[in-house]
Chains A and B, each alone.
Chain A
């Protein structure tokens, strides 16, 4: 079946190039944030920047190994890979805790986080399962079985506990959505319990996952800004509640959405664009307003609990207290300005001043944003967006369901990491410690993301070999 050809044949160089660019930017940022004048060389392996170069080298080496292996084995051994990965997740629970979580497997500073690799295993098994999935047999049982593939690692990760990785596993729901897995049978069952209702299909049930995502995103965003006050230079002296910020955002996006719809929809549907955009706007406003209203009406202690969960208390004292990390991170990003403070010139987000904690790992967006400003951040977001879109393009050109599902898994995992990691530095997500892919310092994440990416590249390069 396989033709004899060089292993680099069919590689998506664009995607690989973008990823390597990201790695380079990451190392540069780690070097800037962790720079120690006594060890000025970026290749000083006693420093995190030197180590990061080692991690990238190892990762690229692993990538080459991946390319030497026939991609067929992932499909074949999906279940054993998954089971051994779950075993590691169990073993790790008996390891000593580090930073309050038993997520590390290894000795001393050398170690791996099985949670990172469980994502790959779950992606492979889900791909295998959905490839064999009979669309016509979408019973509740089958859907729940698909969900089990992600629920098992999620449960084990919750025991560590590692909130970030836990949340990332919900990204697979989108992959299933893309493959047509529907929650409609469940929703129908519930809806049809109502007397006199007899639906065959509900829109909410079919598009359950994206709707859920939108609701959760809007709710969290609303909660995060609901205590803020906004001042506008045009109206000196007046302050607007944070909710108005959400409202304006929603309005702008509804407008943009409307014009995009008009472009995309067929002539026949063009008239519906305004209706869809309006309904979307009204729904979004009602959801966010309800959340905002409900939140404001909560008893102070309940409010406080939610604020604590979100890592948010809008209190002057909290700025230097419970809200310290988030406040410093946001400040570092916000103070970057249009063009930034200049490379290696950050004052808040670096290890020397240490105002922003974890500035070389989970908060690495902060030094980058502080030093490169809006020019840098918009470039970085564009780069991630480019990679994500490129993976979708790659996914959609696969012949096999297995490959496509796997590709979408990679895209969604990256999307989650990207969204949450950057979101927590710009007030859009609660502070959940997950790395920025290919960017943050750390061996496990660098290796696992690389292996994940190289498997995708390998699958893609062999896509024509697959007949299915």
Chain B
């Protein structure tokens, strides 16, 4: 027929379209992986299950941080159906305006991203995803809402876990959690928006140990976001694993007792087990109940008040506050003097009040007596010998060499530098170096008489109460210390490596006898400054400090300081106590507080109720 060849045109079309389709399908199905990813994106929800954070125990196996179950009211916009905002507002007790605002807030909270294909700014919010509408409802609150939720499609409850502090103390040690922010999200891929992470204390320092392993559940979802099964029968699912419990060296009861004692006082108590470096108690006063900062509602209610409180309950005084050590510092001066060979245990100096003021006491014939009586002129003399060793003719050059040596000793005592303690917020204190004074007075423009107040722990020297307690531990150990630390063991792994290394002070153990004897006399001999530190049945070795301080040029009430350890043989506890503006001397307030802590720790209870009551009743310090 005439147009027969035209059948080839039609056949070509058929074959061509068929071939093009097969090629295209080959490209789509076999070559291009993009659609498989897209398919997963649409159908598989990767549901992450965050395990509760690790539990924390104290040294006696008492739970210090536990977890409570709370509930989030979740909403998925795509699932909303005939949403009765009136009825819903009655159910949850919000106004309709608040409910609308919350929806906007959820959307805005997700942020935006720049779409690489179109260059437009799109919201990360997705209608098909679920977001918490109300967070952290208690079981009680949820029980009122949950039974009615089936009337509101798209809303459902979701369990979450939140921190709980059974003892309600040690807030400055344990720290608190807060929701992660944008920076955290980019820094720590573990966290997703809405997660909580440690913000202070050991919760922050050990954050990665608290997290555990997230579980992942792949769920195949329908277009309406209903779960229609698990992906490949859960072959890729993993269960959430809670991190192993963390054991602290802390004694929760001692901590609580210390906080009681420090009520109505500003200051700190730090107690360390000298043989291990474990921190037994670390009291910062005033403090707060850590339960106040659990969850978003509590934080928004309580945090601003705590933050603006002029008495700074959030400030971890034992770690960050820098005080002049006062007479407690004389212990180190005697040790350095003996180690440098500028004095011996039996060197005596007259109590020459022309140099510096002192109280009335007989002149010290040896180191032990000097410590016992806390003779200021004696330690002026000792320190002068340390600083001015007459290695140079020019006393100014000589002082620079002497102070340099002295400062090196101080570092070895863990002073003037941040201790490697497992907590954030530590400060270094201050140990003046030759460089430091050069800056103030000019190079070689100063000598001992310029800087003499460092002899008795006044002037430029500043220590944190933690460093001071560590000094007590060094005394107890006769010359070495383990870095003070909170965590005894993570799970069953035993002590952390960096806390099993002894730090030596380079002072011979033999030099300690005289000083420790002086400390014993301080407490147990007539004429000692710390007779209030006695604990029945134990030999306590202590040293008081009474720190003069000024605001501007106005003299304030003295700070009362005390460091000690007990028992004298095989010491079990080393303590520093610091009470701001207590008035009087170190022996008046700080010493009895320390003795009560020792009694509590060694005996488990306090029999000396008169002493206890006196402390509990005392309202000291300057309050704003």
Contacts and interface: CB of A to CB of B under 8 A. Distances in A.
B134 interface: no
Interface of A: 135, 174, 177-180, 207, 210, 213, 229, 249, 252-253, 256, 264, 314-317, 320, 327-328, 330-338, 347-348, 352-355, 369, 373-374, 377-378, 381-382, 384-385, 388-389, 392, 395-396, 408, 411-412, 415, 419, 422-423, 426-428
B10 interface: yes
Interface string B2-16: 111011111101111
A415 B25 contact: no
A135 B3 CA distance: 11
B122 A317 contact: yes
Given A315-B120, A385-B15, A419-B17, A334 B39 contact: yes
A355 B222 CA distance: 6
A333 B3 CA distance: 40
B80 interface: no
A195 to B, nearest CB: 33
List the 5 closest pairs (A to B, CB-CB), nearest first.
A334-B35, A335-B39, A180-B3, A353-B222, A385-B18
Interface in B9-32: 9-11, 13-26, 28-30, 32
Interface string B234-270: 0000000000000000000000000000000000000
Interface residues of B, number: 48
Contacts of A178: 3, 6-7, 10
A375 to B, nearest CB: 9
5 contacts: A337-B29, A378-B22, A389-B14, A423-B21, A426-B24
B104 interface: no
A170 to B, nearest CB: 13
A320 B124 CA distance: 13
Nearest to B2: A180
B24 to A, nearest CB: 5
B45 to A, nearest CB: 12
A180 B22 contact: no
A145 B34 CA distance: 50
B118 interface: yes
B118 A315 contact: yes
B185 interface: no
Given A348-B39, A355-B43, A392-B7, A334 B14 contact: no
B40 to A, nearest CB: 8
Nearest to B126: A320
A419 B43 CA distance: 28
A6 B14 CA distance: 34
Given A334-B36, A355-B222, A348 B43 contact: yes
Contacts of A353: 43, 220-223, 228
B148 interface: no
Given A252-B23, A347-B39, 14 more contacts: A178-B3, A180-B6, A210-B9, A316-B117, A331-B38, A333-B28, A335-B38, A338-B29, A382-B18, A392-B10, A415-B17, A419-B17, A423-B21, A428-B20
B292 to A, nearest CB: 42
Contacts of A385: 14-15, 18
Contact of A373 (B2, B29, B221): B29
Tell me what chain A mostly uses at the interface: helix, strand, loop, or mixed: helix
Contacts of B16: 253
Given A314-B117, A392-B7, A419-B17, A347 B220 contact: yes
Nearest to A319: B38
Nearest to A314: B117
B186 to A, nearest CB: 21
A327 B35 CA distance: 10
A384 B18 contact: yes
B224 interface: yes
Contacts of A427: 24
B21 A428 contact: yes
Given A336-B29, A347-B39, A374-B25, A389 B11 contact: yes
B42 interface: yes
B127 interface: yes
Given A180-B3, A315-B118, A174 B10 contact: yes
Given A178-B10, A334-B36, A354-B222, A422 B118 contact: no
Contacts of A328: 42, 223
Interface string B198-225: 0000000000000000000000111110
B11 A378 contact: no
Contacts of B24: 426-428
B128 interface: yes
Contacts of B13: 174, 210, 213, 415
A396 B38 CA distance: 46
B221 to A, nearest CB: 7
Contacts of B122: 316-317
Contact of B21 (A135, A207, A327, A381): A381
A337 B36 contact: yes
B29 A369 contact: yes
B140 interface: no
A338 B30 contact: yes
Contacts of B25: 333, 369, 374, 377-378, 381, 426
B30 A330 contact: no
A369 B38 CA distance: 16
B14 A392 contact: yes
B115 interface: yes
A320 B220 contact: no
A135 to B, nearest CB: 7
Contacts of B128: 320
A206 to B, nearest CB: 10
A314 B29 CA distance: 20
Interface in B84-118: 115, 117-118
B81 to A, nearest CB: 15
A331 B29 contact: no
A283 B14 CA distance: 21
Nearest to A387: B14
Nearest to A418: B17
Contact of A333 (B8, B29, B127): B29
Contacts of B224: 354
A392 B4 CA distance: 12
B125 to A, nearest CB: 11
A355 B28 CA distance: 19
Nearest to A328: B42
A412 B17 CA distance: 13
A145 B128 CA distance: 55
